[in-house]
């Protein structure tokens, strides 16, 4: 109720005010980047394993439309990693989070294993609020690459400890057991509470029932390990995305960085299961719709939607119709095809063209107006 009331006030407030005029920043090398509109907030949405066919299948099965269609800027990135043309999600997300090509499996470290600062950590240093939302565990490769620094994505208990090193303001995802049933005996769930976090989980209450205190940090665990499939009743991605924007928008006046992952599009590809891919794709697109609505009202938010890589060598074959996808797969792993990037809002013009996956990090830093000199 509190939240609903607040949201009403927020809408009134927004509609009564002129849209904020964008601050522009001059970059030292005008050839590389002309004047860029500065974004107060950046929301990076990663559809893990979401190639063009995943998008196409979701679109056809969703009545030939997706929220993705309303993005004015579309580009392509090259997803390969440092040591393999076929990237994994750890190297793929580290390219976005820290702007380096690293080895498959590596989280937030460069090819030599050295820690590299993530955009989330840099945002934090600049007083910008931060959030991570995923439909996998929150210690899984994609979200982990924004906060942890480990050479192997499999060290999930190790990755969880980084949530006590860098305080992320808003966290929603699975993986409760990596926090409170650990081999080392630490209870990170309690440690987060001691740090002043509001911490809750699916076992105690539904996310929608929580009366959120915007002044405290927020962590909610959606499952003990991996959250279930969207088609089996997982329904938190859309409300968590909405809550994340409302929370972060109120948590600090200096803007926010939020990463939202649709993690299981990839898992559908690994399973060579077209229906799994499609339901996860449509769920992710609904979250995109929610985020776009916020960004349109707000006027100072850059929204980027992309994927780390394609999964499955997924194809839509002869005999298909809008309602019936006859799917093919060339692999149960990832592929190296170029990946689409969609952008909306201030700074979105940076994202057209074809570029390396690592350029997304650079473009986000530019949109935030961070100094071109990156201190590692
Ligand atoms: Mg992932
Ligand atoms: Zn994968």
Is residue 108 within 8 A of residue 147, CB to CB? The reply is yes
Query: DSSP characters for 165-184?
Result: TS--SEEEEE-THHHHS-TT
Is 337 within a domain?
A: yes
Q: Which ligand is nearest to the CA of 335?
A: 2
Q: Which H or E element spans position 354?
A: strand 353-356
Considering the domain boundaries, does residue 86 fall inside one? yes
Length of the chain: 376
Residue 365 CB neighbour total at 10 angstroms = 18
Centre of ligand 2 from the C-alpha of residue 160, in Å: 20
Contact 134, 142 (CB under 8 A): yes
Report if residue 221 sits inside a domain: yes
Q: Which residues of 108-130 are buried (b: 16+ CB within 10 A; e: fewer)?
A: bbbeeeeebbbbbbbbbeeebbb
How many separate domains does the chain show?
1
In a domain, 283, yes or no: no
Q: Which of 7, 5, 25, 41 is nearest to 254 (CA)?
A: 41
Q: Note whether residue 277 is domain-resident.
A: no
Q: What is the pTM of this model?
A: 0.91
Helix (H) or strand (E) holding 119: helix 119-125
Q: Is 89 noted as a catalytic residue in this protein? A: yes
Q: Give 17's contacts (C-beta < 8 A, 6+ positions apart).
A: none
**φ and ψ of 334, to 5 deg:** -85, 165
Structural domain includes residue 375: no
Give distance in angstroms: CA of 95 to centre of ligand 1.
13
State the ligand closest to the CA atom of 51.
2
Helix (H) or strand (E) run with residue 340 in it: strand 339-344
Is residue 33 assigned to a domain?
Answer: no
Ligand 2 center to 294 CA (angstroms): 29
Which ligand is in closest contact with the Cα of 146? 1
Quickly list DSSP for 190-204.
HHHHHTT-EEEETTT
CA of 107 to the centre of ligand 2 (A): 15
Question: Which one of the listed residues 81, 89, 136, 348 is annotated catalytic?
Answer: 89
Q: What is the DSSP letter of 107?
A: B
* Local structure of residue 231 (DSSP, 8 states): G
Q: In this structure, is residue 21 part of a structural domain?
A: no
pLDDT per residue as tens, the chain (376 positions): 444 444 544 444 444 443 344 444 444 554 455 578 899 999 999 999 999 999 999 999 999 999 999 999 999 999 999 999 999 999 999 999 999 999 999 999 999 999 999 999 999 999 999 999 999 999 999 999 999 999 999 999 999 999 999 999 999 999 999 999 999 999 999 999 999 999 999 999 999 999 999 999 999 999 999 999 999 999 999 999 999 999 999 998 999 999 999 999 999 999 999 999 999 999 999 999 999 999 999 999 999 999 999 999 999 999 999 999 999 999 999 999 999 999 999 999 999 999 999 999 999 999 999 988 766 6
Per the CB < 8 A criterion, the answer to whether 34 and 28 are in contact is: no
CA of 339 to the centre of ligand 2 (A): 14
Q: Domain residues for 79? A: 41-271+293-368
Instruction: CATH number of the domain at 137, please.
Output: 3.40.720.10
């Amino acid at each position: 109720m509190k939240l609903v009331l607040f949201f009403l006030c927020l809408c009134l407030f927004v509609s009564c005010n002129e849209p904020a005029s964008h601050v522009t920043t001059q970059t030292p090398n005008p050839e590389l980047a002309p004047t860029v509109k500065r974004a107060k907030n950046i929301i990076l949405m990663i559809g893990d394993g979401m190639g063009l066919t995943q998008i196409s299948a979701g679109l056809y099965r969703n009545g030939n439309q997706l929220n993705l269609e309303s993005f004015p800027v579309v580009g392509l990135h090259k997803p390969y990693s440092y040591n393999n043309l076929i990237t994994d999600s750890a190297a793929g997300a580290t390219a976005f989070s820290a702007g380096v090509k690293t080895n498959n499996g590596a989280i937030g470290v460069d090819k030599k294993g050295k820690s590299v600062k993530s955009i989330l950590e840099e945002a934090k240093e600049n007083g910008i609020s931060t959030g991570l939302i995923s439909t996998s565990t929150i210690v899984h490769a994609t979200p982990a690459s924004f906060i942890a620094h480990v050479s192997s994505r499999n060290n999930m208990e190790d990755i969880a400890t980084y949530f006590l090193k860098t305080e992320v303001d808003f966290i929603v995802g699975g993986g409760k057991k990596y926090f409170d049933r650990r081999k080392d005996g630490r209870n990170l769930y309690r440690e987060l509470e001691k740090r002043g976090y509001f911490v809750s989980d699916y076992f105690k209450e539904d996310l929608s029932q929580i009366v959120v205190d915007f002044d405290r940090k927020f962590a909610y665990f959606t499952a003990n390990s991996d959250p279930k499939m969207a088609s089996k009743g997982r329904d938190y991605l859309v409300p968590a995305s909405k809550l994340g924007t409302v929370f972060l928008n109120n948590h600090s006046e200096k803007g926010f960085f939020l990463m939202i992952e649709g993690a299981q599009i990839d898992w559908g590809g690994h399973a060579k299961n077209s229906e799994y891919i499609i339901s996860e794709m449509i769920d992710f697109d609904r979250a995109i719709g929610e985020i776009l609505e916020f960004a349109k009202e707000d006027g100072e938010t850059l929204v980027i939607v992309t994927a780390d890589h394609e999964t499955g060598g997924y194809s839509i074959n002869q005999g298909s119709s809008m309602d019936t996808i006859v799917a093919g797969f060339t692999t149960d792993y990832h592929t190296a095809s170029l990946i689409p990037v969609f952008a909306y809002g201030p700074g979105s013009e940076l994202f057209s063209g074809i570029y390396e996956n690592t350029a997304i990090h650079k473009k986000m830093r530019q949109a935030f107006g961070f100094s071109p000199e990156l201190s590692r």
